[in-house]
């Protein structure tokens, strides 16, 4: 693996907050585009007279491309420079967003969404690596906490922003602004990144593990593709064959990576104290919240007949509470920090149960339940990333970033698939909420192991 020498300008400390904002804005854009399209699907379908299968490709193409190239994106940053790859990812993402916004038909839109997902996979893994490299001590903990808040804030914001843009119908452009809004943001980032993010350069021989790249890409593709389009197609037999083949390839990938001298992903990083428990906890947390956001939004729009704007605004109690708690949890006494993740997940359990009970009580519990779930996510997601990565050495930053970002994407796709299928199969939101609570409860168990590693630190 390449050894990376880092330039540390004297003024990096003074610009650290702005540098973090530049990094997190890229993460925010990528996550925003994961959820904002869901709100616009009816409008896009009507504009192009597109079938449900085509619309699923518009949504799923982004997620498939994003998930299957994240590990490769992390390694490219390690080999060719994290700032360089982040900037390339930003530029490609901006161009793909422009192309999506100007797409003349549904097929080009689906293809541009695929390109957008690949660009996001080049951009996003560099963020954790840069934070791990250029932030130390309390500054790193705060930066990773802000990253944790951004993970869910981007998705919730997508629902709200999507509703607002569709309702505004700027210049009669209907759904197109949900993509075009990325263009000025991307241009701003392209200007600021070279000025605010310190350069890093590899000094050792550069070598990309092409065998590992091919196996990992195929494995993730075979795992994600059935989850993205399986329900729309009625779960044909080949989707299950693909999923099993993906699991087999994942095992092959692990065996191959343990034998090569310069692996695409050094799996020894999983021996880092707290990382395994942190990844398991993060997977349960995001599995539940992604399923919750998908099923509850469908309930609001299809079940209750709410407009995209109104359904987006319904999420405000969740979003506001999430943001406040996510940024304020560090004011708690330090000896209690190891408990915040399990406590936050316990609040999520109560929130999901409250959503289920709200359907049995004429909806009077919806807002309190959203506040509980938002507080729980703020208390768990924000410190979770910090605690999972606290012991990862700088030499393994790219490996940890690749594993973490891939876990995030797989968990989100899995949450939409599992709980979305449960909800769309005719089960009520109440039943779906019970299973959401169960997933969060499993996260509490994993969070207990993480808490023990944090307490022993």
Residue 1: pLDDT over 50: no
Phi-psi category of 317—alpha, beta or left, where left has phi over 0 and alpha has psi -120 to 50?
Answer: alpha
**The pLDDT value given to residue 149:** 82
**The pLDDT value given to residue 427:** 66
**Mean pLDDT score of the chain:** 86
Phi-psi category of 236—alpha, beta or left, where left has phi over 0 and alpha has psi -120 to 50?
Answer: beta
Residue 14: pLDDT over 70: no
Provide the β-strand partners of residue 202. Answer: 4
What confidence category does residue 13 fall into, taking pLDDT thresholds of 50, 70 and 90? low
pLDDT in tens, 158-182: 888 888 888 887 877 789 999 999 9
Asked if residue 34 lies in contact with residue 158, where contact means CB atoms within 8 angstroms, the answer is yes
Domains of the chain plus CATH, in order, are: 10-198 (1.20.1250.20), 210-263 (no CATH), 268-457 (1.20.1250.20)
More confident residue, 65 or 56: 65
Cβ partners under 8 Å of residue 10, min gap 6? none
Mean pLDDT of 273-290: 92
Cα radius of gyration (the chain): 21
Give the integer Cα–Cα distance in Å for 79 and 398.
10
Map tokens 């932030």 to a residue.
Answer: 135
N-to-C CA span, the chain: 28
pLDDT in tens, 117-151: 999 999 999 998 899 888 888 888 888 888 888 87
% pLDDT > 90, the chain: 35
Give the integer Cα–Cα distance in Å for 191 and 183.
12
Map tokens 């330090």 to a residue.
Answer: 334
pLDDT in tens, 383-414: 888 888 888 887 888 888 888 888 888 898 88
Q: What interhelical angle do 397-424 and 70-80 show, nearest 10?
A: 160
Residue 457: pLDDT over 70: no
pLDDT in tens, 426-441: 767 889 999 999 999 9
The token pair at 366 is 């919806």
pLDDT in tens, 73-103: 988 988 888 999 999 999 999 999 999 999 9
Give the integer Cα–Cα distance in Å for 252 and 130.
30
The model's pTM is: 0.84
User: What DSSP character marks residue 197?
Assistant: S
């Amino acid at each position: 693996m390449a050894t990376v020498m880092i330039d540390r300008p004297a003024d990096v400390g003074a610009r650290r907050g702005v540098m973090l904002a530049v990094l997190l804005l890229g993460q925010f854009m990528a996550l925003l585009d994961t959820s904002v399209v869901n709100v616009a699907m009816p409008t896009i379908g009507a504009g192009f007279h597109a079938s449900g299968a085509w619309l699923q490709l518009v949504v799923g193409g982004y997620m498939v491309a994003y998930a299957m190239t994240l590990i490769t994106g992390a390694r490219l940053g390690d080999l060719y420079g994290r700032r360089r790859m982040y900037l390339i990812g930003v530029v490609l993402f901006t161009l793909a967003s422009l192309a999506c916004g100007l797409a003349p038909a549904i097929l080009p839109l689906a293809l541009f969404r695929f390109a957008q997902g690949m660009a996001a996979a080049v951009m996003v893994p560099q963020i954790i690596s840069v934070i791990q490299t250029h932030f130390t001590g309390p500054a790193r903990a705060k930066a990773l906490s802000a990253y944790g808040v951004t993970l869910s804030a981007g998705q919730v914001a997508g629902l709200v922003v999507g509703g607002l843009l569709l309702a505004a119908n700027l210049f009669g452009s209907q759904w197109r602004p949900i993509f075009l809004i990325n263009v000025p943001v991307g241009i701003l980032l392209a200007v600021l990144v070279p000025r605010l993010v310190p350069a890093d350069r590899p000094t050792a021989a550069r070598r990309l593990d092409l065998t590992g790249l091919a196996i990992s890409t195929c494995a993730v593709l075979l795992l994600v593709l059935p989850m993205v389009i399986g329900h729309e197609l009625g779960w044909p037999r080949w989707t299950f064959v693909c999923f099993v083949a993906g699991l087999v390839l994942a095992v092959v990938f692990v065996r191959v990576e343990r034998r090569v001298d310069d692996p695409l992903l050094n799996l020894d990083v999983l021996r880092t104290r707290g990382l395994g428990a942190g990844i398991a906890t993060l997977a349960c947390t995001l599995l539940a919240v992604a399923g919750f956001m998908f099923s509850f939004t469908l309930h609001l729009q299809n079940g209750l007949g709410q407009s995209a704007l109104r359904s987006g605004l319904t999420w405000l109690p969740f979003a506001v509470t999430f943001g406040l708690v996510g940024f304020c949890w560090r004011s708690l006494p330090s000896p209690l920090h190891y408990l915040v993740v399990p406590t936050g997940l316990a609040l999520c359990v109560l929130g999901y149960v409250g959503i289920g009970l709200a359907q049995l009580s004429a909806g009077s519990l919806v807002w309190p339940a959203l506040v509980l779930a938002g507080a729980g996510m703020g208390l768990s997601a924000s410190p979770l990333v910090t605690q999972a990565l606290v012991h990862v050495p700088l030499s393994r930053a790219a490996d940890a970033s690749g594993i973490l970002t891939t876990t995030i994407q797989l968990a989100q796709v899995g949450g939409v698939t599992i709980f979305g299928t449960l909800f769309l199969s005719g089960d009520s939101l109440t039943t779906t909420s019970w299973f959401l609570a169960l997933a969060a409860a499993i996260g509490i168990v994993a969070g207990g192991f993480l808490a023990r590693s944090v307490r022993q630190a």
